[in-house]
Amino acid sequence: MKNVLVIYYSQSGQLETIARTIAEPLENDKDCCVTFYEIELEKPFPFPWNKAAFFDSFPESFLQIPIALKPIPQFILNTQYDLILLNYQVWFLTPSIPINSFLKSTDAKIILNNTPIITISGSRNMWVIAQEKVKLLLQENKAILKGNVALVDRVGNLISVITIVEWMFSGAKNKYLGIFPLPGVSEKDIIESSKFGVAILGSLKENNLNDLQSKLIALNGVKISSYLVSIDKTANKIFKKWSNFIYSRKKSRKIWLKVFNVYLWLAIWLISPIVYILHLIIFPFKLFKIKKETKYYQGVS
């Protein structure tokens, strides 16, 4: 019997659906015992978000400052798992505060120690640097990363900004104005994500997770956009300066968060299109580097 733990935190329910869909083949197998653990906060974040609360979470999110979680059930702490599926969201180019708080907890050191992990993210589009941050936290917990699946919103970058923001602030997953596509990971991609569970189950039953990532890549579990990787890297450098600055401004925090809000929208709507054009121009001259980066970010090393 293989003991499998599925960890997730979900506000809208999308990530929980992804987590359960991928885990379904394992859950239906007689040789697997699957346990679901939903991370719960002592003080939950709002959903739908309001603008003030959303931007107020930025400094602590990017700086990966943990908050208090509700206690993890004792039976989970007492069980040795053969595999853990760690499902997470990306907030401000960083693993979400709830996931970060779990990974930095003393309980995580018990649960993850010397245990094979598969990370599964559901994000708007930029996730590669967040995954690097997750990798580091897993290493600190002495976990063994064996696989990664990254599910994203496949529509264009600027269109997804509009649809995701509308979803976050309204709480309703609808076609904005009746003309925009549905926000988030598509229903088709979510339904078809059970194929990753089939691959995971096969490798688990064969007691060989070493070649799992190559199987997940072959199933289109990890697609890399060199343009988005470039933006992700640059934005992380900028966000680091903004988050440290705002976090240190206790009295004027609200004012600087409003300034950051304006900056962010200018960056998205004015700077990112320029970056895209420049990327297209220099793409042929950076082909070798891009291929090397793509191979790295698709892997788990």
pLDDT of residue 77: 97
Rounded-to-integer distance, Cα 258 and Cα 60, Å: 16
pLDDT of residue 169: 96
pLDDT of residue 274: 83
Residue type, 79: T
Nearest to 114 by CA among 87, 146, 158: 146
pLDDT of residue 207: 95
Q: pTM of the full predicted structure?
A: 0.95
Q: What's the token pair of residue 107?
A: 């309980």
Q: What's the token pair of residue 3?
A: 């003991």
Contacts of 6 (CB under 8 A, 6+ apart): 19, 20, 23, 34, 35, 36, 37, 84, 85, 87
- What are the φ/ψ torsions at residue 148 (nearest 5 degrees)? -150, 135
Q: CA angle 61-67-69, nearest 5°?
A: 130
**pLDDT tens digits, one per residue of 247-275:** 999 999 999 999 999 999 999 888 788 88
Rounded-to-integer distance, Cα 202 and Cα 285, Å: 41
Question: How many of the other CB atoms lie within 10 Å of CB of 213?
Answer: 23
**pLDDT tens digits, one per residue of 161-203:** 999 999 999 999 999 999 999 999 999 999 999 999 999 999 9
